[in-house]
Structure 1
Amino acid sequence: MTTPDENFSSNNFFLNFITPRWLYFAKNAVLEKTNNLFIEVTDNQLQQVITSLALTLERIAHSHWIVDEITDDTVSPAVQSLAEQIMGEIKKQTELEITDNEVLFFTKQLEGVNYKKPQNIFLDNFDAELSYQVRELIRLVSQQTQKDLRKDDTLFYDLLTHLAAAFKRIDNQAQLAGNPLLEKILTEYPRLRKIIQDDLKEIFTDHRAFLQDELAYIVIHFAASLERNPVQKEISALVLCSSGIGTAKILESRLNKYIPEIERIEIAKISQMGHIDFKEFDLILSTIFLPEFSLPYKVISPLLLDDEIREIKQELQGKQFSNRPVSTHINKETPNDFEQVYEQMKVANELLTQFSITEVSTRQTLEKTLDVILDELEGVVVEDPQKVRELLIHRHKTAPIGIPNTHFALFHSANTYVKKPYFAIFDLSRSVPILGMDRKPMELTRLLLMLAPDNMSTTEERLLGRISNSVIESDVNIQTYQYGDEEAIYERISSLFITEIKDSEEE
C-alpha cells in the first residue's frame, strides 16, 4: 500500500504533530471504507473526525493507550457499529493494537459529529445547567479575546460533549492517559490557555482543579474555533476638511456610496487635529495638504473624483485587517424541496400566529399561577392542563431553568398531553422565587412557556430549538427576552425561523 511522503509538513498547527502515515490511514478508513456514511457531514466536522482519529493512531503507535475503562451505557449502537467498522479496517491495514477501550473512545468522539441538529431541551437527560455554563464560558473567552465565538455551534457542542465527559472523569477520579502532544499545544497558546484556565475556575466552582490534559483539550476546541472563524477589522476612515459642513456631508455621502468597505467615517476640521487620536483610524484622508503632519494620509478633492476612488480601493486591498468575523458562506445549489420548505413555513407561521405576551395575576404559588395559564390553553394547545402543569413543575424542580442575572425563565415540556407546538410569554403581576441555572435564588417576573407534543416532527423540534438556543445566545437576546415587547420578540423569532429555513436548505 502506498502511503504519503514522510517529509510532509502542514500549515495547520495540529497536523504538524501527526505522522502523515497515520493521517493517511485515518482519511482512507473514514472516506473510502464506510460506504459514504459521512456524506452528510460538513467539511469542518469531517476534518475534525479524521484529525482526531489520526491523533489516536499516533498515540497508540507510541504505546500510549487509554487505561481507564470507558463505559458504553450511553453509546448509540449505530455509532458504535460505525466506530468498530472504521477501527477494524485500520487494524487490518496497520496491525496496531486497538483495544475495545480505544474503540469506545472513538465511538464517543463520533457521537458529537452532527452539529446541525439543535439540542432537544425536552429530553429528560438534557443538562440545562451545563448548557448555560458552556455558553458563559464561550461568552467570557470571546470577551477577553475580543473575538465573538458565540455563534460557533460546533464549538458549543464540542465543549458540551467534552465537559460532560470530563466532569465524569473528575468525579470518578479517572484521567486521560498522558499525551505529550498536549503539552506542546498548551505551550503554543499561552494567552488562550491562561484566559480559559481563569474562566473555568470562575464558572465551574465545583470543579476548580482541571487537569492539564483536560485543559489542553478545551484549549484545542477554542483554538480550532479561532481557525474556523478568521476575522477582519471594521475599517474606519478619518476625513479632515477645511471647508464647511455642506462639503463635508457631500464627501461623506460619496465615500459611503462608492467605497462601502469603509464602515466608519469621521469628519473633522483641521482646527480639531490636536484633539484626535489618529491611531483609531485605518485610513486618513484630507482635502488639503498637511505640511507638519507625519502620519500617512491621502489628499483628495471635496468631490472625491473617480481616480481617487480607485486609488483608495487599491490601498484598502493592500492593507491587512483582523478584528471582525469574515463571512465564509458559499452559495451552493441545493434541491428545491418545496414540500419541506412549505412544512417549515407552515409550522413557523403557526408558532408566530399564536405567540403573544400576556399579563397574568400571580397566585399564591407557582403551581397555581401555572394552572391559570394552562387553563386558558385547554382544548387548543393542551388536553390535560393539570398533567402538563405537573410535568412542568417536575422539570423545574429537577433542573433549575431561571436565566441567571435576569427575572425570566424558560418553562418547557414535551408530552402526550400537548396537542401542538406552542411558545408564548407571560408577565406576572408579582414576582415568584425560583432557582436560576446557576442554582442561585432569583425573582421570576416573566415566564417563557414552550410546549410540544411527545411525537413532534423534526421541523417542529428544530424551530423550537432555535428559540430555546437563542435565549442565552447573547447579551442582546437576553435583554430582548427580558424587556422586549410583543413586536420586538416577534421580530426576533421571525428572524430565527428565517435563518433555520435557510440553513436547512443548505444541508
Structure 2
Amino acid sequence: MFLTTREKVILETLVKNKAGNTLDYFSSLLKVSRRTVQRDFKTVSHTLALFHLSLSKRDQEFYIAGTNANLFKLAQELHQSEAFDQTPEEKNWQLLKTLAHQTAPYKLSNLASEIGVSTQTASTYLESLSDWLQPLNVTIERYRGSGIQLRATERNKRQALASYLLQYFDEQLIDALFEIERDTATADWFDYLPIALIKEINTIERSYLQSSHYEMAVNSYLRFLIQLVIALQRSEAGFLIDDEPITMRLSDDAYRFAATFTTEISRTISKREEAEIAMLWQSAIQLNETMGGYDSLLITRLVQQLISHVSEQLNIDLTDDFSLFQGLLAHMPSAVFRFQNKITVHNPLSEDIRRQYPLLFMAIEKGLQEELNGHSLAIDEMAYIVLHFGSALEMRKEQIDIETLIICPTGFGASKMLSTRLTKDIPELTHHVVASMAEMQTVDWDQYDIVLSTVRLQHPPKAYLLVNPLLPQQDVHAVRRYIKEQLPVMMERKKYSATRDNEYAAVTQPFEQFISELDAILKAVHSLLDNLKVTTITAQQDYRQLVADMITAITPDLLTAQQTAIFEKVMWREKQGGLAIPNTTMALFHTRHAAVQQMTLTIVQTAQTYALQGMDANQWPVSTFILLLAPEHLSAAETEVVSTISALLIESTESTQIFSSGQERLIRPQIERALQKVIVNKTQRTDLE
C-alpha cells in the first residue's frame, strides 16, 4: 500500500474518529487548501476500496463506512506501512523531466533508482504518465533490452513539461509567483526551473507590459512565464526546434517583444528560438486596444452565432445579454488563436464543469462545431466558455443583503460564475465585488462582510473562506456557518428591510450610479447620431489618403499633428490583422485617441474598389469605408454603445447590405433601432452590479 504522508494522516484520523471530521478540519490539520484535501480524498477512497470500505459523508462530516473487521485490517496495515514524502504527481513529474532530457533509451532500473521506487512501481507510474501524455502527441516507447524513451517533437515536449506543472501544481505556482513579486523567492521551482532565470524573465516581461498596450491575466502570465523558462532551459541544453517551422501568422508586436526580450536577456538566443518566443507571446497576450471588447468582427460574428445557437438549443433567449456577449468577446480571440495553432490550455475545473453542466456543454460543443466547420475546441477550452454561459443562465436571482468580496485569479468567467452561484445558493449575500490576486492588497476589506477566495492567500488583511469557484454543497454549508457565526457583527451596521410582494424587484446597482450610467449611454447615443456622416465620392485616390481625408473632415478643430497621430494609430491597427470584413465590401477603420472628444461614425461609399487585407488574412474588394473614432477613455456604458455599432455591421445579411448601400436614409434608422434597444435593455435590467 503506497500512501503519501497526507493520505496516511487522513486515514489514521478517520480510523481514530469514527464520527468523522469536516473538510475544514483536514485543511487546517494538514495546512493545505480544501481543494488539495479533496484531491487526496480521491486517492483515499481508492485505498479504502481495497479493504471493502468507503469514504462517506454525513452532513459535513467525512467518515469511513464499513464493518469493524475491515476497519481493524486497515488499522493494522496503516501501522505497518510507511508514508512517502512525494505524491504520485510529484513522482510522475520526476519521470517526465528525466525522460525529456534523454537523447537515447534509458534503463528502467536507473529511472526507478532516480525517483526512489522499485522497478515495478516505476512501471506503474509510467503507465499513468503515458495515458496523460497521449493527448499532447507525446508517447513513452519501451525498447526490449534497451530501455525507455520519450518520443515527440521538441515543441510537444516543452508543452508537456509546462502543462504538467500547470495542471498538478497550480496553487504552488501561484504562491511562487507572488513570492517573486515580493522578492522573497530563493529556491528553484520544482528542482527544474532556475529561480535566477525566472526573476530575470519576470522583470523583462513586467517592464514590457507596463510600457505597451498589452495586458495579461494572471493564469496567462504564469503559463507564458513557465513556457519561456522551459524554452530557454532546453535550448541551452541543446534541445532545439530548428526542424519545426512556424506556420502561423504572427503580429509585428509579437516579433517586437521577442526582439526586445532577446536583446535584454543575459543569454544567447537563436533567430529560430526568437520566433518561437514570438509565438508564445502572441498566444498569451490579450490586446487592450479594443473598442467594446472586440478585436475582430470575425470573432464578433462567431460569438453572436454561438449565443444564438445555444439560446435555440436550451430554449432560452440569451441574445440580449450584453454581459455574456462582452465576456465572450474578451475570451474568444485567444481561444480561436490557440485552436488555429494547436496550443493547449489547462483548465483545472473542466471535469467539474462538465459534470455540473452536461447539457450546456453539449449545446456549446455543437454550436462551435457548426461555426468551426466541423471542428471543436478542446475540452479544457470549452469549459471556460461554459462558465460564461452558466453565469448568464444563473444571473436572474433575488435580492441579497450581505456584501461580499470575491478574490479569484482563475479568470473573469470563473469569478463571475462564483458570484452567480452565490446569488443562487446563498441569497443572503449582497453586492459581489471581484478582485484579482494582484488587486486584493488595494481593496478595503473592511467594507465587506465576508471575503471568499478560490485560492489560498498569504498574509490576508483579515479572515477569509476558501471555496471552489463552482461552490459545491460543502462550501455552501461552510459559508452559511460563517454567516451564522458573524451575523451579530454584520447586523451592527445594517438595517433589515423586507421587500413587499407588490413592490418592484430592487436593482442591486445604486440608483445614482444607474442614473449616471444611463446618462452616459444617452450622451454616447447623441454623440454618435449627431456625428454620423454618410457620403459618396467618385474621385480615385489611394485608400490611405481617403482615410486621412475622412479623419481631417470630422476633426476640423484639431491640429494637423493630432490628426496625423489619429491616422497613424488607425493604420497601425490595420497592420495588426487587416480591417476588411470578409464576404462583404466593407472595411471598418477604428481607434481610440486622447485627441478625440466625441464618438464619430463616418461611412464613405467609393466608386473605386480597393483590394484590402481582411480580418481572415485574405484580400477582399472594399468600396465602403467605415471610420469609427472614440475618446481614449470610455466608461462601460459608452463601451456598450460602441460595441453595438460594431456588432450591427454583421448582425445579418440585411444589415450588411444596408451599411454597404451608402444611403443614410437606410443606415440611420438601422443604427437608431439598435441604440434604442441598448437604452431599453439598460432601463429594464435588475441584475446590474
Taking structure 1 as the reference length, the TM-score comes to 0.49
